[in-house]
């Protein structure tokens, strides 16, 4: 792991650009910055000065759509990470790639986390309540845990979830 980290520090420079509403995706952006030395920017901080920089983009997922990605697309996006509350990409990776027009762009899913449902507001609360109903209707074994995570909140951010993207950075 140490070797992986050192190699990441030597890898050609990129910038990390992220969109995070409740902070879980930001945690991943900061963790990646610490490992690689890359600078981080929020999407709203992007400016013309950064137009020539290669971008590693991280965004939170809302009904399968990676937030902030459309704005970041005006820059040189080399790979995209989506953070969601599900254990593995939900909707599945193929759907996320299609929905976000990511064909040919490396995509990495990272489990983020969520605040308790009671702390969400407006359309986010409505959408998450609908998501719970969808989960309830699914015939899968681990749906109770997924529903409880959304109701009560949880933090699924882990260093090990960065390994695939760090391996990609090192292989460039
Ligand atoms: C309205 C809404 C829709 C969401 N849709 C998805 C989804 O489609 N797939 C998923 O895995 N997580 C989904 N989530 C969970 C967030 O993507 C997850 O909590 C993410 O890690 C939050 O990142 P942030 O703290 O950086 O904003 C949704 C959350 C909200 C509030």
pTM for this prediction: 0.91
Mutate to test the pocket of ligand 1, among 42, 61, 120, 129 (most ligand atoms within 8 A of CB): 61
Q: State how far the Cα of 141 lies from the Cα of 65, in Å rounded to an integer.
A: 25
Q: Using one digit for the tens of pLDDT, what is the confidence trace for 119-152?
A: 999 999 999 999 899 989 988 777 888 899 999 9
Cis-peptide into 24, omega within 30 deg:
no
Q: Using one digit for the tens of pLDDT, what is the confidence trace for 84-129?
A: 999 999 999 999 999 999 999 999 999 999 999 999 999 999 999 9
Would you say the CB of residue 69 lies under 6 angstroms from ligand 1? no
Q: Using one digit for the tens of pLDDT, what is the confidence trace for 69-84?
A: 999 999 999 999 999 9
- Residue 10 has a pLDDT of 47
């Amino acid at each position: 792991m140490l070797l992986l980290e050192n190699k990441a520090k030597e890898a050609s420079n990129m910038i990390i650009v992220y969109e995070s509403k409740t902070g879980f995706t930001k945690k991943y952006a900061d963790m990646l910055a610490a490992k690689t030395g890359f600078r981080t920017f929020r999407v709203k901080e992007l400016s013309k000065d950064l137009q020539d920089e290669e971008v590693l983009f991280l965004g939170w997922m809302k009904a399968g759509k990676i937030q902030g990605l459309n704005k970041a697309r005006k820059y040189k996006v080399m790979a995209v990470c989506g953070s969601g509350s599900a254990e593995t990409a939900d909707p599945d990776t193929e759907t996320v790639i299609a929905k976000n027009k990511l064909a040919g762009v490396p995509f990495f899913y990272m489990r983020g986390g969520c605040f308790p449902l009671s702390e969400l507001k407006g359309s986010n609360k409505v959408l998450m309540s609908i998501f719970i109903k969808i989960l309830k209707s699914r015939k899968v074994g681990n749906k109770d845990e997924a529903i409880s995570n959304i109701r009560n909140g949880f933090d699924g951010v882990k260093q090990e979830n960065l390994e695939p993207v760090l391996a990609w950075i090192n292989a460039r």
